Chain A
Amino acid sequence: QVQLQESGPGLVQPSQTLSLTCTVSGGSISSSDYSWSWIRQPAGKGLEWVGRVFLRGSANPNPSLKSRVTISVDATKNQFSLKLSSVTAADTAVYYCARMNWGFAMDVWGQGTTVTVSS
């Protein structure tokens, strides 16, 4: 079955850019039935949708983060990526990647990766 795995640095300095990659296995990222999302969760808090990307590369960032978020897809590697610029301590969270199905439910999730913004 489809599995997702996040990877990237666990520590990012303030004002720098957070970069994460999600590798999709057991299925193709090129399927037109799905889009691919990032969600984050600060410690002890709720979930926040960060944005999503489609196969053809078009992306929908959360407008609350829009100017700082870039989401892209590399179909040749079966991966999609998140870049969040000008990070602050408020961006410290567990970041999850997830597959979004035709009904816009996130039906497959990665295990999550913790990113801490600190000098």
Chain B
Amino acid sequence: QSVLTQPPSVSGAPGQRVTISCTGSSSNIGAGYDVHWYQQLPGTAPKLLIYTGSSRPSGVPDRFSGSKSGTSASLAISGLQAEDEADYYCQSFDNSLSAWVFGGGTKLTVL
């Protein structure tokens, strides 16, 4: 059981907007630690998508955005495309575990 909780799956039609939540607690997101998001395409390594909450690495389209509030964070994907179909993971630091932790992952299906 991950200390960061994500929905197991979300779906949307091409062109739509979806959001993926990452719910933590006062020992991780709520303590002010940054949240990062990764995209993992089938059979490949994870790729950094959003860092320090809302920044995008070079090459990541601005269709991807991140936000944080309280003990939760969210990843939003607008203008859904077929190639967005992947697993998405959030990551933060947990001071009670003294470890970087990941959410359980969310599988995005583009209908």
Contact = CB atoms under 8 A, between A and B. Distances in A.
Interface in A32-55: 37, 39, 46-49
A55 B16 CA distance: 44
Query: Most B CB atoms within 10 A — which of A37, A46, A47, A107?
Result: A47
Contacts of A47: 38, 46, 89, 91, 102, 105
Given A46-B105, A47-B46, A105 B91 contact: yes
A62 interface: yes
Interface stretch (A9-17, A78-86, A108-116): A108-116
B46 A63 contact: no
Given A63-B98, A104-B34, A109 B46 contact: yes
Contacts of B46: 39, 47, 96, 106, 109
B102 A49 contact: yes
Contact of B45 (A48, A64, A112): A112
Interface residues of B, number: 24
Given A103-B34, A104-B93, A105-B36, A46 B103 contact: yes
Contacts of A49: 91, 99-102
B36 A106 contact: yes
Interface string B85-111: 000010101000111111111000000
A67 interface: no
Given A46-B105, A111-B45, A103 B99 contact: no
Nearest to A97: B45
A79 to B, nearest CB: 18
B61 interface: no
A54 B57 CA distance: 23
B48 interface: yes
Nearest to B4: A46
A5 B93 CA distance: 25
18 contacts: A37-B100, A47-B105, A48-B102, A49-B91, A49-B99, A60-B98, A63-B97, A63-B99, A103-B34, A105-B34, A105-B51, A106-B48, A106-B91, A109-B46, A109-B47, A110-B45, A111-B44, A112-B45
